[in-house]
Amino acid sequence: MAKKNEQTISLIDTFAEFKELKNIDKTTMVSVLEESFRNVIAKMFGTDENYDVIVNPDKGDLEIYQNRTVVADGELTDPNMEITLSDARKIDASYEIGEEVTDLVPYSKFGRRLILTLRQTLASKILELEKDSLYNKYVDKVGTIISAEVYQVWKKEILLEDDEKNELFLPKTEQIPSDFFRKGETVRAVVARVENANNNPRIILSRTSPVFLERLLEAEVPEILDGLITIKKIARIPGERAKVAVESYDDRIDPVGACVGVKGSRIHGIVRELHNENIDVINYTSNIQLFIQRALSPAKISSIVLHEDERKAEVYLRPEEVSLAIGKGGMNIKLASMLTEYTIDVFRELDDDAMDEDIYLDEFNDEIDEWVIDAIKSIGLDTAKQVLNAPREMLVEKADLEESTVDNVLNILKAEFED
């Protein structure tokens, strides 16, 4: 009996260890331990209704009591629920028929096999609680920045651990291209999402999310945290460039100046964290023409034609401004489109004399293949001067033409007007 008692107490010790490591509160511990014993009792006797399970985690002990009704000798039908009068009086001579007898169940009654089953049930419950606790903890942290230590670096993702040794994942797709981490290093990232397939929580972190930049700005700019400045929109090409639209509800506060800081003091720390990602901060406005103009900074816009139903904008600029609007590798115009949620097409502005005469592309079908003309017309360019007015990069990307094909078309069209 003492041996069985030791086995049962070891179960309580095991649970106490989990409680200490995983922050499971005392009430939950008692509930899980009681439920585990009740499952074993129900499996052994068919029901647990007439049993009391009393757990005392402070003392580290547990007692099980069985309740049975006293029946006359010879009328016993269910030994689990009933006890004969003569057996009841062996416990206490004063028992009468119909009374309830409550007596302590010795641990020896369970047997080694059921004790092992109980251990497995308890371990399973603890694992389930641990997963629930981890899921709930990080679901509440989605969108917040955390610091974690690199535990292992793999090709497609990095495994990190938080202060409680919980596993977190930073996929390659959520890393800034120039990120490079070694085991033991501390990484800052935002909790992007918590996946929970088959009740197996998987915490995904991100350093490429616009939310990461937003939280970094909140940490550096007190006016954002205090609600005096609002971040309206963020567009990022991680590790390269970002555009942030901000608005102030207090006329006395310059939102762009507050975010950048004196001599860039507030933005410098963020730029370092993001591996020298260039951050443009602009004033937000609900005037979409003005917003597009600001988003294309540093280029200076001559005029804009909006197609609001299609969420498209045709932007006209002086020839020397076109490359600024497009930016290196098309980055500036791409970010401006992401920020304003408008498709932006840029065109060179021609003077009045140049606009006098134009020729439809179909007139060139003896020099340019018809499929090439159709490809160019499919992006809204029908005349020779419209094509010459459009950026070369736009013809390559949007018309899906080879660079050599585009150059050949431009040479043919230029020759026509030079003649």
- Minimum mean pLDDT among 256-265, 315-324, 401-410: which range? 315-324
**Cα distance between residue 191 and residue 144, in whole Å:** 6
Architecture of domain 141-207: Beta Barrel (2.40)
Q: How confident is the model at residue 20, as a pLDDT?
A: 55
| Higher pLDDT, residue 108 or 238 | 238
Structure tokens at 412: 């043919």
pLDDT band, very low/low/confident/very high, at 208 (cuts 50, 70, 90):
very high
pLDDT digit string (tens) for 330-364? 899 999 999 999 999 988 876 555 555 778 888 88
Q: Which of 30-34, 134-138, 160-164, 395-399 has the lowest mean pLDDT?
A: 30-34
What is the percent of the chain where pLDDT is above 70?
A: 91
Domain boundaries, the chain: 2-137, 141-207, 352-418
pLDDT band with cut points at 50, 70 and 90 for residue 3: very low
Query: Is pLDDT above 50 for 205?
Result: yes
pLDDT on residue 2:
42
> What is the rounded CA–CA span in Å between residue 336 and residue 243?
8
3-state class (DSSP) for residue 317: strand
CATH class of 2-137: alpha beta
pLDDT at 114 over 60: yes
| pLDDT (average), residues 94-100 | 94
pLDDT for 11 equals 53
Q: Which of 104-113, 114-123, 243-252 has the highest mean pLDDT?
A: 243-252
Could you read off the pLDDT of 275-287 as tens digits, one per residue?
Answer: 999 999 999 999 9
* 208 Rama class: left (phi>0) / alpha (psi -120 to 50) / beta: alpha
Identify any residues that bridge with 160 across adjacent strands, giving them in sequence order: 150, 168
CA distance linking residue 387 with residue 356, whole number of Å: 15
Give residue 125's pLDDT band: very low, low, confident or very high (50, 70, 90). Answer: confident
CA distance 175 to 192: 12
For residue 10, is pLDDT > 70?
no
The span from the CA of 138 to the CA of 216, in Å, is: 19
Query: What value does the mean pLDDT of the chain take?
Result: 87
What is the per-residue pLDDT for 14? Answer: 53
Is residue 325 scored above 50 in pLDDT?
yes
| Residues in Cβ contact with 232 at an 8 Å cutoff, skipping those fewer than 6 apart | 245, 246, 247, 284
pLDDT band at 51 (very low <50, low <70, confident <90, very high): very high
Q: Which CATH superfamily is domain 352-418 in?
A: 5' to 3' exonuclease, C-terminal subdomain (1.10.150.20)
Terminal Cα distance for the chain, rounded: 111
Residue 201: cis peptide before it, omega within 30 degrees of 0: no
At 83-95, the pLDDT tens digits run 999 999 999 999 9
Backbone phi, psi, residue 33, to 5°: -65, -40
Percent of the chain with pLDDT over 90: 53
pLDDT at 1: 39
For residue 416, what are its two tokens?
A: 């026509």
* Mean pLDDT value of segment 373-400: 85
Q: How far apart are CA 150 and CA 349, in angstroms?
A: 53
The pLDDT score that the predictor gives to residue 36 is: 80
pLDDT score of 381 more than 90: no
CB 361 within 8 A of CB 381: yes
pLDDT at 133: 84
Q: Which pLDDT belongs to residue 22?
A: 53
The rounded distance, in Å, linking the Cα atoms of 316 and 306 is 11
CB atoms within 10 A of CB 386: 19
Q: Residue 239: pLDDT above 90?
A: yes
- Cβ 151 vs Cβ 161: under 8 Å: yes
Averaged pLDDT for residues 396-416: 88
Query: Which tens digits make up the pLDDT trace of 286-318?
Result: 999 999 999 999 999 988 989 999 999 999 988
Q: Pick the residue with more confidence: 268 or 198?
A: 268
Residue 254, pLDDT score? 93
pLDDT at 17: 54
- Cα–Cα distance between 245 and 337 in angstroms, integer? 13
What is the average pLDDT across 376-401? 85
Closest C-alpha among 134, 121, 111, 162 to residue 14: 121
Phi-psi region of 98 (alpha: psi -120 to 50; beta: other; left: phi over 0): left
Mean of pLDDT values over 243-256: 92
Q: How far apart are CA 61 and CA 67, in angstroms?
A: 20
